[in-house]
Structures are given as structure tokens and as C-alpha cells.
Chains A and B, each alone.
Chain A
Amino acid sequence: MSTTLTEPNNKPALPRETIRQSMSSRKKTRGNRGGRSLLAKGEPMLWLTGGGLIVAVVMIIALLALVIVQGMVTFWPKHVDQFVLKNGTVHMGEITRDDTYKPEVGVLDSLPAEVQTDIANNEGWAHRELVRTGNFDLTNSHFHWVEDFYIESRSQPQWATVIERNAWGRFYGMPKAFMIDGKVVADTPEGTWAEFLKHHDQVRERWHVRRALEKHDIGYESRKIDDARLELKSAKIEHGVDSPQYRDAQTNYDAVDAEVNVAYGKIREKINALNAENDKYQLVMVTTQGQEKQLGLADVVRAYQPNQIGFGSKLGIYVSRWWEFLTDEPREANSEGGVFPAIFGTVAMTLIMSLMVVPFGVLASLYLREYAKAGPMISAVRIAINNLAGVPSIVFGVFGLGFFCYVVGGTIDEVFFKASLPNPTFGTGGLLWAALTLALLTLPVVIVSTEEALAAVPGSMREGSYGCGASKWQTIRRIVLPRAMPGVMTGAILAMARGAGEVAPLMLVGAVKLAPELPIDGVYPFLHAQRSFMHLGFHVYDLGFQSQNAEAAKPMVFTTTLLLIMIVAFLNLFAIWLRARLRRKFVSSQF
């Protein structure tokens, strides 16, 4: 390059043959040939465009790599370090991150002379590590900074145990004893651990049975009584308290109430039996500070000794944590457990949105492109649609809240759900309103891409169709639309990607912090479009900005982001696959 630039630019143009030849062996001759401006050859533009692409690709890859690397390592079990400090305090936990820093003057002065010289030799820098010490119920903090110059000794105790619990976050300690029914059956770490492994699966199994009983069986009974109560209330509103209808409803309610109470009693009995059985098994742990803690085995989600186990076991824990993350409900104010309701909510919302936006968008663009006569009116409509794409998404959220939730939903409540007022049914944010709001938001994308696809269908095909005697709609239905289908799908893909990643408007129209009830379930009418839902994008926001245990939530932010990206990618791949199929169909139907 540089040689070309410095060479004089006054040689006569080379004959055509030479240029062609030099093009074919470009690399060798470029520097010597010269005589033509770089701009004329277009090479700077090549570099510029190529460079632009590279910058874009690097940025995307760097962002993805950050999310993937951070998201993937979150669940990998780390070893546990024990630090004995010079002042006698002991900390034990997983090292989260480390940091080099310059200790403040006041801190430096308090250190022994040799440490001071060490730090001075290091140009004033010292090193410290953030240790996740857990045991929040005993110490009121989740993390501790440990400065290198305060450490007396560090070790990795063989029996250091990490326990993930149903409540209170992680526990770090050593196994001390195992009790069944109040009697100590093991009091060495080895024995305790053997007992733990022997009983833990059974106890957790019982715990799951109990949860299923609570969720499904009790839920079923209470829905019965709920329905009866609503009927009673409707009878009161419609016919008054003195009417025979109300008396019938009252009798019915009393009967249901009695029946449900009996059923409740039976289920409670079962639950209590399971609880009593589970409560027999207690694990006694001791922390490095010497505090003892008795843990019910049923509350232990997962426990392991990271300093003992090999790669295979670690991989097992890693996989089981991912599995929990993908399939379980969140616990501890969303900072632990899984995100299944959020995954479900995201996918359900995106699919419902697509089902609404694609047909509407296609119909609108069919009218614009096929039926309407070009004129100022149509141009104005087009401009308006394009402008719609530029409206901030939060404005759509406000519109959705004001129009869908309050006006439409409020009216629906007045008419159909009078009995449950003042508790709103449709008159508040929910899956349906969120999907409709995002459908509005993504409508321009679908209309624009469908219009372009329709425009790309050659006019001769339409004319051929008319020539065969087809009507306008028949032509559109049989000739134009099938050929425009891949373009429509492109629009749908873009709309889905946009919709799944959008958070701001959802915060107003139905995405909430906690809503473990899925909007689609096995209870009539199966699709509960009025329910609030959890959304992965909102979950990321919540973990990032509102979590109480911010340090522990940070890695979960990356993991959840990774999951959201994967879901969007998966939805897109599905749509692309569908488009490819449609294209093939279209090609094979040609002569």
C-alpha cells in the first residue's frame, strides 16, 4: 500500500490486457504496477467497508462472548477457601473476584512495618479477594473482602461443604453430626456425609410430593370454593339477597364449603405426615467460626464438598444447576432457583404477539399494495406507519396501559367479572394486553417487509392470473401471497426478535417481579390471558437493579441474558426454517 502511495502518479494508463493480468496476480504486482489512483481502483473503499464490517462483527462477538463466558461459568462449582486472619477471625467461602488497590493511609499506618515495606515495594498496591461466605442467618452478610496482608494462613479444608438451601441463601461449613428422630446416628464428617447421601434423595422426594400436593390438590379444592363464592356474589348482585337464586347459591356454597373442608383436612393430614417424616432427618453443621447450625434435610437443595470431588461430579452439579435454573420456580425473591415462569412467559407472550401482529400486518399491507390506489392518502398512511416505528417503546407501554388495561379491560370487568370487583380481572396488566401492546409496537416491521415482498412479485404473474379469469382475491390468495410468503416470514422474524427483547413497555402492561402461576395451565379455560406474567428481560432488569443480594445476583444477570438470547435465537431459527421450507415449496412448484 505505502509503496503505491509514494510512487509518482504520472505514468500512462496500461493497456487493458495488462490490467487484467495484474488483476489475476494482484498480490505480487500491486506494489510495482502503480500508475492508477487507489480511489479509482476502489481499494480504500474496500478497506473502509471491510473495516466497518469487522468493527461491527468484533463488537457483536465481544458482547456475545462476554455474556456467554460470564453466563456459562456462573453455575460451575468453585473450590472453597478458608482464611485465618491475623486478628483471629476466620472466613470460609468461594472466591468471587479479586482486586488490586491502594490501601488508604490510615489503613497502611496500622500495619506492621514489613507489610508496609512490601506494599511500598509494590508501588503502593495491595491485593484482596471477595469471598462469598454465605451463612446470612448467622452473620447478616453474604460476602466479605479479605485483604492479603491480613491473612495468617489459607487452606482448602477437605470437608468444607457448600449447601444450597430453600431459604437464607448458601451455607458454608463442615458436617458435624447427623440426627434421625433426635438421636445422633453419626458424629464424624465421613459418617455424617454417608448418612446425608443415604437419606437426602428420599427426603427431597417427599418434599416434592408435598409441594405437588400443596400446588395441585389444594389448588383444585380451593378453585371449587372460589367458584361457589363468585356464584354467590353474582347472585347477590343480580337478584338481591332475598331472591331464591341467592338462597340456592347459598345452599350450594355451604355444601361446597363443607365438602372442600373435608378434602382440605385429608390433604393437610398427608402434608403433615410428610413433613413430620422429613423433620426427623437433621443435618448438624458447624461453621468455621464455630457456630453450630441444624438444618432440616428437606431444606437442603444441594450439598457437596468442592475440595474433594473430581471433574465428573463437578460437571454433574453444573448440569443439575442448569436444570434447576431452566425448570424450577424462583425462590428467595428471585435471587435463587430457576426462571421457568419467566421463560414460559416470554415465549407465550412472543407467540401470542406474533399470532396477532402477522395477520393484521399482512391484511393491512395487502390493502395498501394490492387494492389501494396510489395517492397522497396512501403516502400519508405509509409515512405514518414508518413513523410509528420510531415512536419510543415506552409510549406504546403508556398507551397499552391507558387504553387496553384501563379502558378495554375495565369495561370487560364491568360487564363480565362484576362479582370479583374491586379486584380487577382484565382491568390490569396481563399477558393479553402485553401481547397486544407489543403487536402494535412491531406492526410497522411486519407491514413494511410484507409490502416489499408483495412489490417484488412480478406484475406479469398477476396479469397471467387475471388472464385465466381469476378474480382479484383469487389472484392474491393463489398467486401473490404464496410468493410473498418468505418476505412475510422475514417480517415476522424481525417482529419476534424485537418483541422478545423489549422490556420497557412490558413493565407497564403486565410483566411483574413474581408471578409463579403460568398464564397457560391445565385449569379451564387453559389460557389465562388476564394473568400477569414474568418475562426474562424484566427479570434481568430486576436482578440487576433491584436485587437485595446484588453481588450474588450479578452472575445470574449474565445467565438470564444468555438464556434470553438463546430463546430469541431459537425462535428466529424456527422462523428461518419455516421460511426456507416455504421457499422450497415455491421453487418446486415452478416449471
Chain B
Amino acid sequence: MSKIRSIVSAVLAVVLVSAPAFAQVSVDSNLPDYTPVQGVTGNIKSVGSDTMNNMMTLWAEGFKTMYPNVQVEIEGKGSSTAPPALISATSNFGPMSRSTKSKEDDAFEKRFGYKPTQLPTSIDMLAVYVNKDNPIEGMSFPQVDAIFSKGRKLGFASEINKWGETGLTGAWANAPISLYGRNSASGTYGYFKKHALGKGDFRDSVKEQPGSSAVVQGVASDKYGIGYSGIGYKTADVKAIALSKDQGGKLIPATPEYAYSGDYPLSRFLWLTVNYKPGSELEPLRKEFIKYIFSKQGQLDVVKDGYYPITAPIAKKALASVNIH
């Protein structure tokens, strides 16, 4: 599992850095076209990430136009719900916005004798959103940490409670910062905690929202709000600010070219977790669905949902990891 991940990261680093900057998000033309085959039936049951909820729905809808009698059920309440559902076999796909934890891998291995397989389906930028009227351009991770966390593990000098402390002036100087975030079942919650807060704890004053879209809507209606959510949920009412990893570092805006170049500090893969016995052959339903996701059509759905498609080499590696060539 970790091997695949490291291969994929390496590929991302090599292929994407060398790839020209994408102005408009477009699908890699080297990806295979999906052509329907015969004999695909059954029930696609997906339980997992809320970030990927709409994308799973789009894939399922696209897949259903080719296999109309395939039944589809999609639940998205958070990445943490994916591994238990796979283990209890109540689902056959587990979309996750983070990689599996070793605890989850172990529980899975205990039941099946091998670890779950994760396929990188698309690229997301976890964006830090502020209200559209907020003049702030960007922030460093230590600042974000000082806003969201209790402990300030990234070492910012003091807690940030007012917009003035981030450098804003005028009416903003004394405006209190109002925090929006996700609930703890969410992979976005875990990812943000790990990367932007240095594994520190969130403050109690973070208003936990039941969905990615709810975070954006919260920030949209709260002039002094700040929150984090997938880039796919951006609306005209919020602004995704630029981020830098270190205090005083270069601010990287949340635009696709920086996701592909790997410069944006919160870009991540969105994973599809499957129960795949190494060396075996997937049954037609799952095999074809995975093939669909890694095809041109499937990646077009990714664009449709506001995320960024993967490139052909990553797709090839991912397919090879479940024995599809």
C-alpha cells in the first residue's frame, strides 16, 4: 500500500512538475477512452468521503448511462466511514479524501489478510476560504495554525483572534475572526489538522459543519468568517486565499497550475479505497467502474465537480495496482 503511494507521489512530482502549467483545467488527452463491455451488472455501493460525494455521484451517473441496469447507492458522511463499511462488506467502494490510517489498515488486514488498496482518482486543493469582501491576500501555515488551533504547534508567537493580527487595517483591525470547519469524521478535518496545524488540536470555537458545502456557505454569510474546504465547493461568495508553508515564504494562490506543480501546500489526492486481493482479478462491475473513473469520461466528471483530473501516467499506475492493464 505505502509502496503504491510512494510511487504515485514520485510520479506526481516528476510528471507534474515537468508538465506545462495548465491555464484552464483540461483532461489529459493520453487517458484512454472508455468503451462499454458486456456482462456488467450488480450494485455499486459507495460509503465514504463527503468531499467526494458529488464526484462519486457524477461517476455513478456517467457509468449508469453505459450500464443502465447497474444499481447505485451512494452515501457520503466522511472518510472515516469508508474503511468500516469496506470491512463489514456493506460497501464495495470507499471514497476517501485522505489515505488510510495504519489502524484502519490493520483492522482491514485482520479481516481479509491483506491491506486495502487505494487508488488516486483526482487532485483536490484544500482551500482556506474567507468572505468575498475580505481584503486579505494570503497567509502562512503558522498564521493559519494560530487562528485554528489551541496549541500553535507551528510556532507562531501568539494566538490570532482578530483580523487585525493578520495585518488587516481599518474596520477589519478589530473584527473578531469567526471559525468554520468540518466534523471529526471528515477526512478534510484530519488532513487539515495534520498538514496545516502540525497535528495540533482545533479550537473549541470552530463551528463544525456537517458538509463541505456548509463550510463554504457559513463563510459566505459571515463577513468575518474563515474556513477550509475542498476547492470544488468554491462559490462566488467566498475567496480562496493564497498559502505559504513557512512564515514569510512565497504565497501560492489556489489555482490549478500550482496544484499540478505541487507548489500549493494543501494539494492532495482524492482516493478510492477498494477491497482488492493482491494478484487476483476484480469482478467485472468493480473493474469496469474503476476503468471508467480512470478514463477520459471519468476525469471529465472530475472537472465538472470542480476538482483537477489526474494525468495518464498516474492513471496507468493506479490501474496496474489493481491488475488492470
Contact = CB atoms under 8 A, between A and B. Distances in A.
Interface of A: 101-102, 104-107, 130, 136-137, 140-145, 167-168, 211, 214-215, 218-219, 222-223, 225-226, 257, 261, 264, 331-334, 406, 421-424, 427-428, 507, 512-517, 531-532, 541, 544-551, 553
Interface stretch (B13-21, B205-213, B243-251): B205-213
Interface string B284-307: 000000000000000000011110
Given A140-B24, A512-B73, A333 B89 contact: no
B74 interface: yes
A548 B305 contact: yes
Interface string B43-65: 10100001001110110110011
Interface residues of B, number: 58
A423 B89 contact: yes
Interface string B231-261: 0111111000000000000000000000000
Contact of B76 (A136, A264, A428, A546): A546
Given A261-B38, A333-B58, A546-B50, A423 B43 contact: yes
Given A219-B68, A225-B41, A550-B216, A333 B209 contact: no
Contacts of B236: 130, 141-145, 551
Most chain A Cβ neighbours within 10 Å, of B75, B89, B216, B233: B75
Nearest to A421: B89
A222 B214 CA distance: 40
A212 to B, nearest CB: 10
Nearest to B62: A167
Nearest to A131: B236
Contacts of A516: 64, 72
Contact of B45 (A104, A145, A428): A428
Given A141-B234, A514-B74, 19 more contacts: A101-B133, A140-B24, A141-B236, A145-B237, A257-B39, A264-B38, A332-B304, A333-B57, A423-B92, A512-B74, A513-B53, A515-B73, A541-B210, A546-B50, A548-B213, A548-B233, A548-B305, A550-B217, A553-B213
A142 B172 CA distance: 29
Nearest to A424: B90
B306 A105 contact: no
Name the residue among B25, B61, B210, B304 with the largest chain A CB count within 10 angstroms: B61
Residue picked from B68, B71, B304, most chain A C-beta under 10 Å: B68
Contacts of B61: 331-333, 514
A266 to B, nearest CB: 13
Contacts of A215: 68-69
Nearest to A168: B304
B135 interface: yes
Contacts of B199: none
A141 B284 CA distance: 36
Contacts of B76: 513, 546
6 contacts: A104-B135, A145-B132, A225-B39, A331-B61, A550-B216, A553-B213
B176 interface: no
B42 interface: yes
B170 interface: yes
B77 interface: yes
B235 A218 contact: no
B187 to A, nearest CB: 14
Contact of A547 (B39, B42, B60, B213): B213
A548 B54 contact: yes
Given A215-B68, A424-B89, A546 B212 contact: yes
B235 A104 contact: no
Nearest to A422: B89
Contact of A551 (B58, B172, B237, B304): B237
Contacts of B24: 140
Instruction: Enumerate the 10 nearest inter-chain pairs by beta-carbon distance, A residue then B residue, closest first.
Output: A545-B211, A143-B236, A219-B69, A214-B68, A422-B89, A333-B54, A546-B211, A333-B57, A545-B214, A532-B73
